[in-house]
Amino acid sequence: MVAKKLNLKDKYRALTRDLDWDYDYSDRKKAFPYEEFEGIKITDWSKWEDPFRLTMDAYWKYQAEKEKKLYAIFDAFSQNNGHLNVTDARYVNAIKVFLTGVSPLEYQAFQGYAHVGRQFGGAGARVACQMQSIDELRHVQTQVHAMSHYNKFFDGFQDWTHMHDRVWYLSVPKSFFDDARSAGPFEFLIAISFSFEYVLTNLLFVPFMSGAAHNGDMATCTFGFSAQSDEARHMTLGLEIIKFLLEQHEDNVPIVQKWIDKWFWRGTRLLAIVAMMMDYMLPNKVMSWKEAWEVYFEDAGGALFKDLARYGIRMPKFVETTAKEKEHISHQAWWIFYTHGHAAGFHTWIPSDEELDWLSEKYPDTFDKYYRPRWELAKEMEARGERFYTKALPQLCTTCQIPMGFTEMDNPTQIAYRSSDYEGEKYHFCSDGCKHIFDQEPEKYVQSWLPVHQIYQGNCGGANVEEVLRDYYKMNLGEDNMDFKGSSDEKRWNEWKRKGVA
Amino acid sequence: MSVVAITPDYKFEAKDRFENFHGNQIVYVGWDHHLMFCSAFAYPVPPATTFKELRDGVMQEAFEMHPEYSKVNWETATWLLDNKPFEPQLDKSLQEQGIGHKSLLRFQTPELKGYKNAGV
């Protein structure tokens, strides 16, 4: 006798696990061809504890309510010319970096989870991945809608998908996700769900959303709140996947450890962009990158890895390097962009005197000694009317694809150079972490699409940098790039201020 | 170690092999302890380029922006080629003296401490 109305628990089972079926006329292995090649051993999928405990109908209802509120705020933001309430037009450049560098990753995540959501033999894991896939699609859509308002008033927002696929520095986030999506389904979950969403996501999310709040950007801030409950669910998937793999079979432990080592390092390199945003791009600062790293990785991550120790998992490789890098990474990253400001799709600038003092205060051991002099030189050149733009293309790291501007952490005026020889070719890396990743899977990274080399191979259209930027990247030269000082963004902003509208 | 792949023969040609650069090779040149330039520069040059042409021609434009570059004494400056001590021969080609595709050249000028003696 079946009850007319299912209780919540039964309904949940019916709409998730009961959607699975047995294969009586086909080999189950053929139905899930990606499940074994990574070497992960699953002995019992029924042990998977569904992280979301949400059925599709409840999910639609819940998300639709959030969506309604979110779009009401976007409308109000737009009607009230919300862009005029941001602290300073420089702030908007952080949003340009987000739209071109991060939002396309939400789309990549949607594709990635849709793929692995088909590949797992366990129905619980499939449903969780499919739901996250839909979340990610929602995130990219709502982000685009949130930022589309800025596109009407500021430069650099017009061609973000095109730019993501082509622009030199955007190959950093793009290749990160390409790497994860071209891995097997279990590695993808350890890469994105665990290492990124669980261990490092607060370092992306908190700075951007609190940064938006601190700088009067209600659209981005509201998007953040709307995504927050999704992110919380994604983190529980990250935690479930790692516990599940470690409990299923002891042979999984070294494989999982290897992936944690790789993706933790890849993640820290990707976050260099967030580091420079926090320390240099937000007119009203939330906290320094160093403080964020201490709170969200060292404290929170430290406790997590203590918990995982009982499975035989240790802290990620090269974690001791990150403890030193937190003093340097944001300064080195912003200098890379400042000196390549002619080739960036957003504006760069010298920090104000007040901001330089804030940096000295937040980085007492490193800023005045190593980084203030760089800005003094930049100021001196700017005062002469020779704003410093570097004149040759940089050497890139084969793994993370960032210009090789990171230094030896115990010798911070010396660039760190690492290299490997593989099948007669030389490869260069910014760090021990990036070299280690290459050495583990050289066949993968010999394919790195390094923007500088691609330009020299003639694969990016132009014969010179200007043509590449204009024709291949589709940057609106003279508007999107160069210093904030003297930009059209700045002129329009000052005009709005003068008229008293801002 | 090698990649774990679902395709049995996971093998690709190196994207940056010499043949793809239309007769040029890539040479990276970095000036140690001078971080005005955020990283070493990547130059595409024919392997027959002499060291003198590289140093006095190719490198000039970008490096001369540094306030100390005109003070570099090439008689005493030291070099590393792929992280090993190296004595360049000015009139010999890159190829002839073992500066290969994607080789890294670094030079040191210990008497020049960078802008404000800060390694900049």
Q: What secondary structure does DSSP assign to A365-380, as a single string?
A: TTIIIIIHHHHHHHHH
CA dist A477 and A470 (Å) reads: 6
Domain B18-117 adopts which CATH fold?
Answer: Ubiquitin-like (UB roll) (3.10.20)
Handedness of CA A488, A494, A495, A496 (dihedral sign): positive
Packed helices A432-440 and A252-270: angle between N→C axes, nearest 10 degrees: 130
Highest mean pLDDT, choosing among A26-40, A71-85, B27-41: B27-41
Confidence of residue A2 (pLDDT cuts 50, 70, 90): low
- Contact at 8 Å (CB) between A276 and A205? no
Residue type, A359: L
Query: Domain for residue A179, yes or no?
Result: yes
CA atoms of A431 and A437, how far apart (whole Å): 10
- In Å, how far are A141, A273, A299, A374 from A332, measured between CA atoms? 32, 10, 24, 10
**Residue A308: CB atoms within 10 Å:** 18
Query: Which residue among A392, A412, A458 sits closest to B22, beta carbon to beta carbon?
Result: A458
- Classify the C-alpha dihedral A462-A467-A470-A471 as positive or negative: negative
Q: For the stretch B26-36, what's the b/e string if a residue is b when 16 or more beta carbons lie within 10 angstroms of its beta carbon?
A: bbbbbbbbbbb
Tell which phi-psi region holds residue A39, choosing left (phi > 0), alpha (psi between -120 and 50) or beta: left
| Residue B18 CB contacts under 8 Å (≥ 6 apart), including other chains | B25, B101
Give A465→chain B minimum CA distance, Å. Answer: 13
Q: Does A377 touch chain B (CB under 8 A)?
A: yes
| Mean pLDDT for chain A overall | 94
Q: Answer whether residue A502 shows pLDDT above 60.
A: no
pLDDT on residue A17: 84
CB distance B35–A441 less than 8 Å? no
Is residue A162 scored above 80 in pLDDT? Answer: yes
Per the CB < 8 A criterion, the answer to whether A116 and A129 are in contact is yes
Predicted confidence band of residue A484 (pLDDT cuts 50, 70, 90): very high
Query: Which amino acid makes up residue A425?
Result: E
Which residue from B96, B113, B108, B109 is spatially nearest to B25, judged by alpha carbons?
A: B96
Judged by CB atoms closer than 8 Å, whether chains meet at A37 and B5 is answered as yes
Of A152, A156, A154, A491, nearest to A343 by C-alpha is A156
**What is the average pLDDT across A419-425?**
97
**Collapsed DSSP state (helix, strand, coil) of residue B105:** strand
CB contact under 8 A, A369 and B10: no
End-to-end CA distance of chain B: 39
For chain B, give every domain's residue range.
18-117
Provide mean pLDDT across the span A120-128.
92
Q: What is the DSSP string of A57-94?
A: HHHHHHHHHHHHHHHHHHHHHHHTTGGGGSS-GGGHHH
Name the token pair of B79.
Answer: 């070099």
Residue span of the structural domain in which A468 resides:
51-349+388-498
Phi then psi for residue B9, to 5 deg, are -120, 75
User: What pLDDT band is residue A1 in, cutting at 50, 70 and 90?
Assistant: low
Please tell me the predicted confidence (pLDDT) of residue A15: 81
Task: Tell me what pLDDT residue A26 has.
Answer: 87
Cα A406 to Cα A411: distance, rounded to the nearest angstrom: 11
Average pLDDT over residues A336-358: 98
Distance to chain B for A378, nearest Cα, Å: 9
Decide if A405 touches B, using CB distance below 8 A.
yes
Report B:16-35 residues touching A (Cβ under 8 A).
16-17, 20-22, 24, 26, 28, 30, 32-33, 35
Average pLDDT over residues A197-220: 88
State residue B1's pLDDT score. Answer: 62
Q: Extract the tokens encoding A115.
A: 């793929």
Which residue of chain A has the CA closest to B19?
Answer: A457
Considering only the beta carbons, identify the residue of A404, A413, A456 that sits closest to B44: A456
Closest to A401 measured CA to CA, from A79, A212, A175 = A175
CATH number at residue A280: 1.10.620.20
**Distance from the Cα of residue A11 to its chain's centroid:** 36
Backbone φ and ψ of A418, nearest 5°: -130, 150
Q: What is the DSSP letter of A35?
A: S
DSSP A497: H
- Secondary structure class of A429 (helix, strand, coil): strand
Report the number of distinct structural domains present in chain A: 1
**B105 forms bridges with which residues in the sheet?**
B29, B81
Q: Are A459 and B20 in contact (CB under 8 A)?
A: no
Average pLDDT over residues A143-147: 93
The answer to whether the CB atoms of A374 and B35 lie below 8 A apart is yes
A436-455: burial string, b at 16+ Cβ within 10 Å, e else: bbbbbbbebbbebebbbbbb
Locus of tokens 């779009």: A71
Cα separation, A309 vs A293, in Å, equals: 21
Contact B116 A376 (CB under 8 A): yes
Would you say residue A224 has pLDDT above 90?
Answer: no
Closest of A387, A406, A384 to residue A348, by C-alpha: A387
Which residues in chain B have their CB less than 8 angstroms from residue A373's CB?
114-116, 118, 120
Both tokens of residue A403?
A: 């210009």
Q: Which residue has the higher pLDDT, A21 or A73?
A: A73
Residues 6+ apart with CB under 8 A from B55: B74, B88, B90
**Torsional sign, CA A113, A119, A125, A127:** positive
pLDDT per residue as tens digits for the range A307-318: 999 999 999 999
pLDDT at position A232: 87
Between the two ends of chain A, the Cα-to-Cα distance in Å is 68
pLDDT band at A225 (very low <50, low <70, confident <90, very high): confident
Pairwise pLDDT comparison (A15 vs A359), residue with the higher score: A359
For chain B, 120 residues long, the average pLDDT of each consecutive 10-residue run is: 88 96 98 98 98 98 97 98 98 98 98 97
Predicted local distance difference test score (pLDDT) of residue A16: 82
Kindly report, residue by residue over A350-389, the tens digit of the pLDDT.
999 999 999 999 999 999 999 999 999 999 999 999 999 9
Instruction: Inform me whether the pLDDT recorded for A50 exceeds 60.
Output: yes
Q: Is A386 exposed, middle or buried (0-12, 13-18, 19+ CB in 10 A)?
A: exposed
